[in-house]
Structure formats: C-alpha cells, structure tokens
Amino acid sequence: MTEARLREQICTFARSLFERGLTPGSSGNISARLPEGGWLMTPTDASMGFLDPARISKLDTAGHLVSGDKPTKEIPLHTALYDTRHGAGAVVHLHSTHSVAVSMLPEIDPQDVLPPLTPYYLMRVGQTALVPYHRPGDPAVATAIRGLAGKYSAVLLANHGPVVAGKSLEAAVYAMEELEETAKLFLLLRGLNPRALSSAQIADLSATFNLDLPVAHQHGDDHG
C-alpha cells in the first residue's frame, strides 16, 4: 500500500469510529507502519472525525517527526506494541465508553479481562489484558505493555481506554470494534449469569482458526 493510500485509509477509518461515538472530542489515536520503515500517526489534539491526510504525522524509524503536525503524545504506547507484537502493522487507541467502563471494574482479571462471549471476540481479539492506570503519555504505560511480552494484541488501560494492534489497519480497527461490542455485551449481561463459550467450543475455535490465546479461559467452564 502506498503512503498516500495509507493516509487516506487512516482518515476514513478514524472518521467512521468518530461518527459512531467510539472516541469523543479529540480523544484517540491511530498509527500505521510504513512499508519503507517508520510510521504514520494521527496528530496530537486532533479530532478523529476531521483529519487531513496531508497533516498526518510522519515519523522515521527512530520515532522522530519527519513531516506533518506534531504527533500524538501516546507515541511510547504505540511503539511498545510495535516492538513486542512484531507482526503489527497498525495500532488503534480509543476512549470508547464500554471498554473504559470495564477497565474500572474491581473484579476483572488483569490477564483475561472479558469472558469468551462470542466466537468473533476470540477470532479477532483473542484475549485482553489490563494495565494499571498511568497518566496519558506517561512512558510507564509503555513499560507496562512491554511487560506483557507481546502475548496480547489488545490491552485495556485502566480508567483510560483500549489499545489494539493488528496486522493491518483494517484488522486493528475491526478488532477494536469487536472488543468494544464485547465490553458492551459484558456490561449488559453483568449479574445475569450469561452462558459463555465452553472449553470445548474455545478449543474448536482455536484449532480451526489457529488462535494463540495467552492464558487458559476459565469463564466458559462454569456455564457448560
């Protein structure tokens, strides 16, 4: 994909996410790896609904700004995922309501935030980890993500929002949408003892779609 096309794609997906209320105001950011090295990133304090392809920040392989507006302050967050998820071609970070809400719940498992409610959550996201709260832009967030050793493509930042890496921008966006919908389902069903996927069903999905799940699911076993 050419750089020009990738710039347009970032703006198209960002606007779609914004228009559906998945990241309000000037929150959220997107990055994508360039074929020749370096990244394109959305600028700081820019609304995802009104990005200009020509003003997208371009960074070299050392993370220095080459052209465009000043990049998001979340560069350490993005680079931590690229460094540990070696196949990642894009990273999406949003402040989507339901995922943020889940990140605040005291009872969630930091190693496996959401139960396996649907096959597409497992197929597109896999599993999601939670990292403790740090202020936005704090390098400690990147340190926490590096501590996950690349096992997770999706991470919830406590009281902040989700971050998802994907092989392509399209894959990262679709996984982010699946994560948010699963968080919404989880909150809607909270306290209702829903029937999650069983261990056998998870094993079938893992074998069929070659899923690499970081930890063994426990949620589905209680419900058969």
Beta carbons of 14 and 27 less than 8 angstroms apart? no
Distances (CA, A) of 208 to 184, 212, 215: 26, 11, 18
Work out the end-to-end distance of the chain between its first and last CA atoms, rounded to an integer number of angstroms: 45
Beta carbons of 125 and 162 less than 8 angstroms apart? no
Q: Identify the helix (H) or strand (E) that includes residue 34.
A: none
Q: Which two tokens stand for residue 105?
A: 């719940």
Beta carbons of 131 and 157 less than 8 angstroms apart? yes
| Catalytic residue flag (residue 121) | no
Q: Tell me the sheet residues that pair with 88.
A: none
Which of 120, 121, 133, 174 is flagged as catalytic?
120
User: Which amino acid, 70?
Assistant: K
Q: Identify the helix (H) or strand (E) that includes residue 219.
A: none
The alpha-carbon radius of gyration of the chain (Å, integer) is 17
Residues forming the active site? 120
